[in-house]
Amino acid sequence: MELREWYRVRLDEVGIHLDVSPPGKQPWQDTIRWADITRVCYQVEDVLMSDGWYLFTKSRPESYAVPVEADGGELLLGALMERQLFDPELAIRMATALQGVFCWPPPEEPEPRPPATSIFAGFRRWIGL
């Protein structure tokens, strides 16, 4: 089963709605309110991995990880830029990069190095892909 069949992203004026039903795991839903987003990072992966968004909010200490290949995930960049939650110039750099992590607003300290293995690699192992 492909990721987009069980990980769905829907956008509206309130926020980002996640509806996730991983095969063999407990399904879950959540809503990320636009007003609660404090930082957005995008990780560019190699061709074998899904690129992904990391959405940091006021409501919890850890980020939400949203794979681009989720159903509706491809609409997230436009929605984030429209709400000034991601910088268009940074999006151009991100789109031409072969790898890396791109965050908005930019960090005050030097940008952290991407992890040796992406959270999506662990996520794929967790769901048995």
- Tell me the β-bridge partners of 33: 15
Structure tokens at 114: 């991407």
Give me the chain's average pLDDT, please.
Answer: 88
What are the tens digits of pLDDT across the range 87-122?
999 999 999 999 999 999 987 755 555 554 555 655
pLDDT in the model for residue 97: 92
Which of the listed ranges 8-12, 48-52, 61-65 does the model predict with the highest average pLDDT? Answer: 8-12
pTM of this structure: 0.81
Q: How far apart are the first and last CA of the chain?
A: 9
Task: Give the whole-angstrom CA distance, residue 56 versus residue 76.
Answer: 14
pLDDT in the model for residue 108: 75
What are the tens digits of pLDDT across the range 24-45?
999 999 999 999 999 999 999 8
